[in-house]
Chain A
């Protein structure tokens, strides 16, 4: 009875082959990149010393600078983030609906929506900002649109996925009563995606606050403008007060988001 030669392999031959290929390719890519990247070794060895020097110049923090420029820029940053997120919501809702295969059955609209969503995500908000500054000139409009266009992809994709996970039972029920399509959206889909929707919005707003802080580097308004100016004038201590402000802002935004989440869920 025990003449059967048992063998056990953790992975099938094919699985092992594919895993090995991935490992090998990763290692090759890493080594090749290391060899071809242009780094001046002296700069690498110098690095810790240079960074220490930088930090000495950034200390002590110039708190007096805050009320002059930083405070207003801070408010402007938050406003950019908020308005940008709101704009994105407006534009992403139709795209999300189009990308949800259970709502719109047409595969063409599905791919068109996906195309817009992916493109929006692939372009950094900073690059969008460059673009909009070139069109609308430096200022807040460029910032709001940059944040907005970047967020469409994020919100649209997650919202589309949430819509696809909806329980179709309640939708069917309403359809069988002959209700019109917009009302079905409001009464059957919306209640089910509302928690996910709120979560997505809060998450994106949090990220957008961080992004808005740097858009000013290319002229799109907010605290980034202040940082850019201080950098160009080598006023390191003003740079550090701006950085500190951003840090505090990010923490406050996270606290706000967490407490809203706790209250709603």
Chain B
């Protein structure tokens, strides 16, 4: 008898409305099975970014549930909120590094959710954290740059720091909001490979917004297609036909 593995993330009927009242997310339902790489594709403005930000509550959803390990994250407050949020690692389209801090400080800041304010103010990171940060630094190939200021790096390098920071959080789920949009094709593939590697090694699911359908097909285990705030495709990359793409993106001329 197959015992169903506990799903790390279930999104139920998630909606989000702008302040003007118009809905951008119109009832999203996703059940994440661990561990898989889920690529979310869809035209700009369809709510992909909003969805991810609702999941870690950088943006508050209007209604619905986000269930992480059987607890509804939407209703969490205080310490529980902090505990749940720090297990959600996020990688941003524009890297969102603290420009004036060094690379190693940016990576270490991934542990801030686990530290008290006083420890953080005195920058007292544990030796374990420091070791882990340096290991991650080595792994993403930025060893010599540890003391450089973040704003002195190239785009691809910055995104690697962003990934390292997210992994420092020891996350249960990784969220990546168009991590490759600002990068050239070769660097994009490198970044996707890094993200895939961590997903498989740490056995954590990744939800990743992508605008490049080919990247999605190449790296994802599962593709979710969104259009106008709804999910209209949820399946394997091989099942993504031209018809499905037409439905998601609209228009034909961009399809060869």
Direct contact of A and B (CB under 8 A): yes
Q: Mark B96-123, 1 if CB is under 8 A from A, else 0.
A: 0000000011001000000000000001
Does A176 touch B at the CB level, under 8 Å? no
B123-A10 in contact (CB<8A)? yes
B131-A10 in contact (CB<8A)? no
B105-A2 in contact (CB<8A)? no
Chain B interface, number of residues (Cβ within 8 angstroms): 11
Cα(A8)–Cα(B136), bound, Å: 14
Does A35 touch B at the CB level, under 8 Å? no
A86 shortest CB reach to chain B, Å: 42
Q: Which residue of A lies closest to B138 (CB)?
A: A1
A6-B105 in contact (CB<8A)? no
Cα(A6)–Cα(B128), bound, Å: 9
Cα(A8)–Cα(B134), bound, Å: 9
B123-A6 in contact (CB<8A)? no
Q: Which residue of B lies closest to A7 (CB)?
A: B130
Q: Mark A122-157, 1 if CB is under 8 A from B, else 0.
A: 000000000000000000000000000000000000
Q: How large is the interface on A (under 10, 10 to 19, 20 to 34, 35 or more residues)?
A: under 10
A19 shortest CB reach to chain B, Å: 13
Cα(A7)–Cα(B108), bound, Å: 13
**A7 cross-chain contacts in B, Cβ below 8 A:** 130
A10-B105 in contact (CB<8A)? yes
A8-B130 in contact (CB<8A)? yes
Cα(A8)–Cα(B111), bound, Å: 15
Cα(A9)–Cα(B125), bound, Å: 10
Does B242 touch A at the CB level, under 8 Å? no
B101 shortest CB reach to chain A, Å: 9
Does B135 touch A at the CB level, under 8 Å? yes
**B131 cross-chain contacts in A, Cβ below 8 A:** 2, 6
**A6 cross-chain contacts in B, Cβ below 8 A:** 127, 130-131, 133-134
**A2 cross-chain contacts in B, Cβ below 8 A:** 131, 135
Q: Mark A1-35, 1 if CB is under 8 A from B, else 0.
A: 01000111010000000000000000000000000
Q: Which residue of A lies closest to B101 (CB)?
A: A10
Q: Which 6 A-B pairs have the closest CB atoms?
A: A6-B134, A8-B130, A10-B123, A6-B130, A6-B131, A8-B104
B residues near A (Cβ < 8 Å) are 104-105, 108, 123, 125, 127, 130-131, 133-135
Further contacts, 9 of them, CB under 8 A, given A6-B134, A8-B104, A8-B125: A2-B131, A6-B127, A6-B131, A6-B133, A8-B108, A8-B130, A8-B133, A10-B105, A10-B123
Give 13 pairs: A residue, B residue, CB < 8 Å, sorted on A. Answer: A2-B131, A2-B135, A6-B127, A6-B130, A6-B131, A6-B133, A8-B104, A8-B108, A8-B125, A8-B130, A8-B133, A8-B134, A10-B105
